[in-house]
Chain A
Amino acid sequence: MDHNRSLPVSDSTSTARIGAGLSAMVVDDDPLMCELTCRLVQDCGFTVQGFTDPREALRAFGAAPTALVVTDWMMPAMDGIALIRALRQKPSGDMAYVILLTTRQDRDDIVAGRAAGADDFLGKLMTTQRLPAHLQSAARILALHRRLTERNAALVKAMGALQQAYDRAQADLAIAAQAQRRNLPPSYATLPTLRIGAVFIPSAIVSGDTYGYGPVGRDEAYVFAADVAGHGVPAAFQSVTLNRMVRPDITTGLRQPGFSPAAILAELNARFATEADSDDPYFTMILMRLGQEDHLDLALAGHPPPLLTRVGDAPTHVDLTGFPVGMLPEATYEDVSLEFRAGDRLAVYSDGVIDCTNRDDVPFGEERLADLLDAVRDQTVEHATDHIRHHLMSWAGGRALADDVSLLLIERTAR
Chain B
Amino acid sequence: MNLEKKVLGEVIALRMDGTRLDAGVAVAFKESVGTEISNGARHVILDLGAVEFMDSSGLGAIVALLKRIGRDGDLVLAGTRPAVRKLLQITRIDRILTQHATVDEAARALGAGPPAA
Contacts and interface: CB of A to CB of B under 8 A. Distances in A.
Q: Is the interface of B mostly helix, strand, loop or mixed?
A: helix
A284 B56 contact: yes
A328 B56 contact: no
Interface string A302-344: 1111000000000000000111100110010000000000000
Q: Which bracket fits the contact residues of A?
A: 20 to 34
Interface string B56-70: 110110011001100
Contacts, number: 52
Most A Cβ at <10 Å: residue of B26, B63, B91? B91
B68 to A, nearest CB: 6
B91 A284 contact: yes
B73 to A, nearest CB: 15
A318 to B, nearest CB: 12
B64 A229 contact: no
Interface in A228-266: 229-231
A331 B92 CA distance: 10
Interface in A196-246: 227, 229-231
B113 to A, nearest CB: 30
18 contacts: A229-B59, A230-B57, A231-B23, A278-B63, A278-B68, A279-B64, A282-B56, A282-B60, A284-B56, A284-B91, A302-B92, A305-B90, A323-B91, A324-B56, A331-B92, A351-B56, A402-B22, A403-B55
**Complex A-B, nearest 6 residue pairs according to Cβ-Cβ distance, in ascending order:** A302-B91, A229-B56, A278-B67, A278-B64, A229-B60, A323-B92
Given A227-B56, A305-B90, A351-B56, 17 more contacts: A229-B56, A229-B59, A230-B60, A275-B67, A278-B63, A278-B67, A279-B64, A282-B60, A303-B90, A304-B90, A321-B91, A322-B90, A323-B91, A324-B56, A324-B59, A327-B63, A355-B53
Interface of B: 22-23, 26, 53, 55-57, 59-60, 63-64, 67-68, 89-93, 96
Interface of A: 227, 229-231, 275, 278-279, 281-282, 284, 302-305, 321-324, 327-328, 331, 351, 355, 402-403
